[in-house]
Amino acid sequence: MKAQLTNISPRVGLACDVHRQGKTSIRSGFGTFYDFVPAGFFSGLNSMPPFKTRVTLFNVKIDDPFADFPGGNPFPYFGGPDATFPLANYGILNPDTKNQSVVQWNLSVQRQLGTNWLVSASYLGANSTHLWALRSMNSAVFLGLGPCTLNGVQYAVCSTTANTDQRRALTLENPQVGKNFSFLQAVDDGGTGSYNGLVLSAQRRASRGITLNVNYTWSHCIGDRTENIALGGTGDGSFTNPENRRFDRGNCTTSATDRRHIFNVSGVAETPGFSNRTLRAVGSGWRLSPIIRVLSGSHLTITSGVDGALTAVAGQRVNQILPNVYGDKSVARYLNPAAFAQPTAGTLGNSGMGSILGPSTWQFDAAISRAFRLGELKRLEFRAEAFNVTNSFRMDDPQTAFNSPSTFGQVRSAKDPRIMQFALKYVF
């Protein structure tokens, strides 16, 4: 990677005491930031020929897997200056690839009410650029469903999954050289994304044994498809349409998850110090800490599960043929299978990335604790916690692979049941 010395990150923040009484403030901030992708992203780039080899074959004979492989069995493999390039997966990383960057800005208003309450309203915005993804540079070309001849071989049906490698772009351009390349993917740094959110909150500081925090977020995250690892050239991470990055733009499902509504309530309530000795010994000092969290559903993508476009690019989507895609939103029929259809051979589906809303969910957790004094320097602390206190059933997301008709649109799993844990700690 070439040095990028122009990556300058200016940041500024402002704060104003509106009435000069310390009770109403307006704050805003702006900044730019840069980041590196995880080191794991590069792991696939150094495990490809000629350093190492990976051979992907389809419809092989179990007793002779390399019977149809040009040149026969490529193993054992020897690298070095004279290494050959077998039919394998390759990746490209341009030394000028830019760092991922984000611009963030915010504006908030806070107001103290009485002596114990603070309320605030905040707008948060972010715009990301140079997000990394993979672009397929050697996908198969759809040549119709009629007969054809490719490199001297006749095919009754010109485009099938069996002759994917024979239809790849480089093979069609130059069969002698192109036959050495299977998946060929380049790191694309042109992705963008944006986030906008409104955060409303109210806080009650500790008073008379009660602390309370309430907040609500209304937000939207939208962006291009991104990857956090280069999969060694496989087709899993590429744009669905290699010629159109924006074809996969939609509600965030990969690098982040779009949740339009998030509501949280948390607090601590402590029992008072009773004057009666017996009541004080039994009832004083107990702390109850409940947490309630309510979220709207995450956004899902309906995948076809098959190579209907016959390009060998994974992650293809289906056609949406009905305006309402939902069933009765029950476990057995959350989505309506009749609302979708496999695209015509050689085409990509019209359904969008992250266009389906999954089930909303909620969580009620609580903890109770108390510290018992054992002299001046010792104490015994007891704590009990319960997650999903009411032991309620909460659905996971439905199955979204359309090529599994027996389970598509059904909810096949649930979130955790009630889980309780207890702790006893002796401090000395």
Per-residue pLDDT of 8-66, as tens digits, reads 999 999 999 999 988 999 999 999 999 877 776 776 666 666 666 667 788 888 899 99
Long-range CB contacts (within 8 A, 24+) of 49-55: 49/83, 49/84, 49/85, 49/86, 49/88, 49/90, 50/79, 50/80, 50/83, 50/84, 50/85, 51/79, 52/77, 52/79, 53/77, 53/86, 53/88, 54/88, 54/89, 54/232, 54/233, 55/86, 55/87, 55/88
d(CA 205, CA 202): 10
pLDDT of residue 197: 97
pLDDT of residue 130: 93
Which residue is it, tokens 């609302």?
339
Which residues have CB under 8 Å from 300's CB, separation 6+? 253, 354, 356, 357, 358, 397, 398, 400
One digit per residue, the tens of pLDDT, for the chain of length 428 reads: 888 889 999 999 999 999 998 899 999 999 999 987 777 677 666 666 666 666 778 888 889 999 888 778 878 766 666 666 666 677 788 899 999 999 999 999 999 999 899 999 999 999 999 998 889 899 999 999 999 999 889 999 999 999 999 999 999 999 988 887 888 888 899 999 999 999 999 999 988 889 999 999 999 999 998 877 776 556 666 889 988 999 999 999 876 789 999 999 999 999 988 888 888 888 888 999 999 999 999 999 999 999 999 999 988 999 999 999 999 999 999 999 999 999 999 999 999 999 999 999 999 999 999 998 888 889 999 999 999 999 999 999 999 999 999 999 999 999 999 999 999 999 99
H or E stretch including 283?
Answer: helix 277-283
The 8-class DSSP code of residue 400 comes to: -
pLDDT of residue 122: 98
pLDDT of residue 87: 66
d(CA 188, CA 92): 9
Which bin fits 19, alpha (ψ -120 to 50), beta or left (φ > 0)?
A: alpha
pLDDT of residue 79: 62
d(CA 97, CA 103): 19
- Residue 131 near residue 255 (C-beta atoms within 8 A): yes
pLDDT of residue 236: 64
d(CA 291, CA 329): 27
pLDDT of residue 308: 94
pLDDT of residue 232: 56
Calculate what percentage of the chain has a pLDDT beyond 70: 92
